């Protein structure tokens, strides 16, 4: 039983959703059938004044469709699921008595679609309340009436603004948009619903402006142009959503529902949909990741982290402190430089202020979060702190000195963590009397936007410390991936060769915008040359040299960045790098003075070869990562690269994309590059073996980690179903700050000892 009915003396019938054995309410076939049975009974009853849909879950109304239902379903079964949803929600809409959705908590996807089928909607002011239709982020469209009813309710431009972006609205913005009809505090939700029932049935009307077909056509045309410009045509779902929504505005509801169904069935067969759904399930997998039973031995002192100290108030330290405080933990932010500490606190205040403007927090919530941070610039005892995260400069000697001092200042059970993006965890821990208490927690910049955290286990990191770090990352709402202490860990290890190869192309005479355009067209959120400028070329030079020294199969680097840094060209922060970065405006033309780094005559090459050089070098390195056991499975690689770099989600990640190409084809192309370009393209042992055995990374016999499910049609691991997605599709989700760094590059490969 997922829906219970209760009737009150005033004739109000309340249908309460409460999925048994789950923290979330979702729509599956059984729940839809159950709702249909309740509605069929209500159609025949007299004395009912109105119907209220409510939830027994404290933070969730209905989180969407059960995506697990897509796993084994063929096209006929999927069509039946769409038809069932259409039939049940239309029956709700046609009830002879008014209906109200009383929304408290998450109301997404199918949850919002059933609410749209009601006559009225009221939402609580609780922070957990979010309304949205995120289906296009999964490669499909809202197909239980959302693409038809939403444009009729709020107008085509506003509907497309929600559907195309997957944006989730709090109650007040949803009220302003006309998506809901009232807001109230959770305890008054049913009272407000009863007031809405008194209005009777709602007349179905479309917004006048967009009901005229010429206006709808103009809105749709502009939306298509914007989507193509933003996605470069890689994502078919947003374009199909525009088509269906625009047609629905002036058409009867049954026609709109028929278009939804046809579009959904077309999209769900696409590789983009399969890959985006895989990304969603990888996110859910990360939320539930656990250490092997042999390693999961948490001490009571680390099983619950309440007090955190962050050492270093720079960009990363301030970001970590802000995010942690926003999750209810007390944070001490320490920096020996009072001016740096003041700048860090100012940056935190700005993040909170922006979050208030975007209605992520109320002003009291933001104020409370800020109050949980205690800035410190003097030596104080940290014996009562459960976790210390070091975010000092990316230099081994500095980090070692910080931890020498920390070990004396903290308690015996305090976890010590470093936010290093590339340095050896074991080398940092070598100065500690108890090196087993150090773990890597590599956050990505900007911390308040990037979900991924690499948890790096040093060779001496204890299971208890690793478990404590994992529980902390999950508790603050980040998505973890566990990596072995190896040069570059996971993300930087794979991305570095790509960045270096991009600069090689530049030194061969390929213009920076052309290099970036190739990778943008491939699906990366930012081109490698622009990324180098965003990172900072001085930081890039330092990290690249360090990783070249420690990587087992490095791409050779040279002194190009060194020359640029010597000129004061540090990238965006200095206003000049591979591009010019004016203080005002977004236009960034290429740096005309960088031509001295390029030959007078460029080396002949074609776009396909250039693309192979940048993409296949990442696949080759990703295969080495698995070969060396840096992570446990191909899922870890693809998840880390998508969430940490924005790696073309519609392609599913580097290893899923590799399976699309086939190992034999990858090996063939790499061997061509060895012959024509440089020996470092030589395919690794794992790729050669896979090519010989004609298998892929995701084949059952190629699995290297636990928890794989290769029997399902869409290759989706089983998780608790919900439609709450945050998949980085386009620009804005790529790596920034102290991340993977492009290497210095010489005028010729011969200068670096490469033929």
Catalytic sites, residue numbers: 442
E strands in 130-231: 130-132, 168-169, 182-184
- Smallest CA-to-CA distance from 128 within 101, 103, 163 is with 103
Give me the sign of the Cα torsion angle 126, 127, 128, 131: positive
Q: Exposed (0-12), middle (13-18) or buried (19+): which is 552, by Cβ within 10 Å? A: exposed
Token pair listed for 332: 């001490």
Q: Within the chain, how many helices (H) and strands (E) appear?
A: 29, 18
The Cα 598–Cα 184 span in angstroms is 63
What residues contact residue 281 under an 8 Å CB cut-off, 6+ apart? 67, 716, 717, 719
For 61, 230, 301, 616, 730, the CA distances from 611, given in Å and listed in that order, are 46, 20, 50, 8, 19
CB 609 within 8 A of CB 518: no
Q: Calculate helix-pair angle for 528-535, 537-550, nearest 10 degrees.
A: 100
The Cα 268–Cα 164 span in angstroms is 17
- Name residue, tokens 């219970």: 4
DSSP string, 52-113: EEEESSSSEEE--B-GGGGTT--HHHHHHHHHHHHHHHHHHHT-SS-EEEEE-SEEETHHHH
Number of CB atoms found within 10 A of residue 226's CB: 14
How many Cα atoms are found within 13 Å in the side-chain-facing hemisphere of 69? 20
CB 579 within 8 A of CB 589: yes
Phi, psi of 411 (to 5 degrees): -80, 170
Q: Calculate helix-pair angle for 29-44, 75-93, nearest 10 degrees.
A: 30
CB 597 within 8 A of CB 748: no
CB 599 within 8 A of CB 747: yes
For 40, 270, 753, the CA distances from 44, given in Å and listed in that order, are 7, 43, 85
End-to-end CA distance of the chain: 70
CB 644 within 8 A of CB 654: no
The Cα 670–Cα 612 span in angstroms is 8
CB 189 within 8 A of CB 55: no
Token pair listed for 117: 């089928």
- Smallest CA-to-CA distance from 715 within 703, 727, 728 is with 703
Token pair listed for 337: 């430089």
Q: In what order do the strands lie in the sheet with 479-484?
A: 373-376, 330-334, 307-311, 387-390, 415-418, 438-443, 452-457, 479-484
């Amino acid at each position: 039983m997922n829906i219970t009915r209760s009737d009150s003396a005033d004739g109000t019938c309340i249908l309460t959703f409460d999925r048994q054995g789950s923290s979330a309410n979702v729509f599956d076939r059984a729940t839809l059938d159950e709702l249909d049975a309740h509605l069929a009974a209500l159609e025949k009853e007299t004395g009912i004044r109105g119907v209220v849909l409510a939830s027994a879950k404290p933070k969730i109304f209905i989180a969407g469709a059960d995506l697990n239902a897509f796993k084994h379903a063929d096209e006929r079964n999927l069509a039946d699921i769409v038809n069932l949803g259409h039939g049940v929600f239309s029956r709700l809409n046609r009830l002879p008595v008014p209906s109200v959705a009383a929304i408290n908590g998450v109301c997404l996807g199918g949850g919002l679609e059933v609410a749209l089928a009601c006559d009225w909607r009221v939402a609580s002011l609780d922070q957990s309340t979010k309304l949205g239709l995120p289906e296009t982020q999964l490669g499909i469209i809202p197909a239980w009436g959302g693409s038809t009813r939403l444009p009729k309710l709020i107008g085509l431009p506003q509907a497309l603004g929600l559907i195309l972006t997957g944006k989730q609205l709090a109650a007040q913005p949803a009220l302003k948009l006309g998506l809901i009809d009232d807001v109230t505090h959770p305890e008054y939700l049913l009272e407000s619903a009863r007031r809405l029932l008194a209005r009777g049935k709602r007349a179905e009307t479309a917004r006048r402006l967009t009901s005229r077909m010429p206006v709808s056509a103009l809105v749709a045309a502009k939306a298509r142009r914007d989507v193509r410009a933003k996605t470069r045509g890689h994502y078919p779902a947003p374009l199909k959503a525009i088509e269906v929504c625009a047609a629905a505005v002036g058409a009867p509801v049954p026609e709109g529902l028929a278009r939804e169904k046809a579009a959904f069935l077309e999209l769900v067969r696409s590789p983009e949909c399969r890959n985006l759904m895989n990304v969603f399930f990888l996110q859910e997998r990360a939320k539930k990741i656990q250490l092997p039973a042999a390693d999961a031995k948490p001490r009571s002192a680390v099983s619950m982290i309440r007090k955190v100290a962050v050492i270093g108030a720079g960009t990363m330290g301030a970001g970590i402190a802000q995010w942690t405080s926003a999750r209810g933990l007390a944070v001490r932010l320490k920096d020996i430089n009072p001016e740096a500490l003041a700048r860090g606190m100012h940056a935190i205040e700005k993040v909170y202020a922006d979050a208030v403007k975007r209605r992520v927090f109320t002003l009291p919530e933001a104020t409370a979060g800020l109050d949980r941070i205690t800035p410190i610039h003097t030596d104080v005892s940290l014996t009562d702190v459960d976790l210390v995260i070091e975010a000092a400069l990316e230099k081994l000697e500095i980090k070692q000195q910080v931890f020498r001092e920390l070990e004396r200042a903290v308690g015996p059970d305090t976890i010590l963590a470093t936010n290093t993006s590339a340095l050896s965890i074991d080398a940092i821990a070598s100065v500690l009397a108890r090196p087993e208490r150090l773990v890597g927690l590599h956050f990505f910049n900007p911390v308040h936007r990037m979900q991924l955290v690499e948890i790096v286990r040093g060779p001496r990191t204890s299971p208890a410390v690793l478990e404590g770090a994992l529980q902390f990352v999950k508790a603050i709402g980040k998505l973890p991936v566990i990596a072995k202490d190896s040069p570059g860990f996971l993300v930087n290890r794979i991305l570095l060769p790509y960045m270096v190869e991009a600069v090689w192309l530049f030194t061969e005479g390929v213009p920076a915008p052309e290099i970036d355009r190739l990778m943008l067209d491939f699906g990366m959120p930012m081109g490698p040359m622009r990324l180098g400028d965003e990172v900072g070329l001085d930081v890039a030079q330092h990290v690249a040299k360090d990783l070249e020294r420690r990587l087992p199969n490095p791409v050779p680097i040279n002194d190009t960045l060194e020359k640029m840094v010597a000129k004061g060209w540090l990238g965006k922060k200095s206003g000049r790098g591979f591009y010019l970065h004016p203080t005002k405006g977004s236009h960034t033309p290429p740096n005309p003075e960088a031509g001295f780094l390029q030959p007078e005559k460029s080396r002949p090459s074609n776009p396909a070869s250039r693309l192979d050089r940048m993409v296949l070098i990442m696949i080759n390195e990703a295969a080495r990562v698995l070969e060396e056991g840096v992570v446990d499975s191909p899922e870890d690689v693809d998840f880390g690269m998508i969430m940490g770099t924005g790696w073309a989600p519609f392609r599913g990640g580097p290893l899923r994309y590799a399976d699309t190409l086939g190992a034999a084809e990858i090996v063939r192309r790499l061997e061509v590059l060895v012959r024509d370009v440089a020996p470092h393209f030589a395919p690794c042992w794992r790729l050669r073996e896979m090519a010989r055995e004609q298998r892929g990374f995701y084949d059952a016999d190629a699995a290297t980690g636990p928890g794989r499910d290769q029997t399902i049609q869409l290759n989706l691991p089983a998780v608790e179903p919900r439609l709450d997605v945050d998949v980085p599709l386009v620009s804005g989700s790529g790596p920034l700050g102290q991340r993977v760094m492009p290497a210095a590059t010489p005028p010729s490969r011969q200068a670096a000892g490469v033929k």
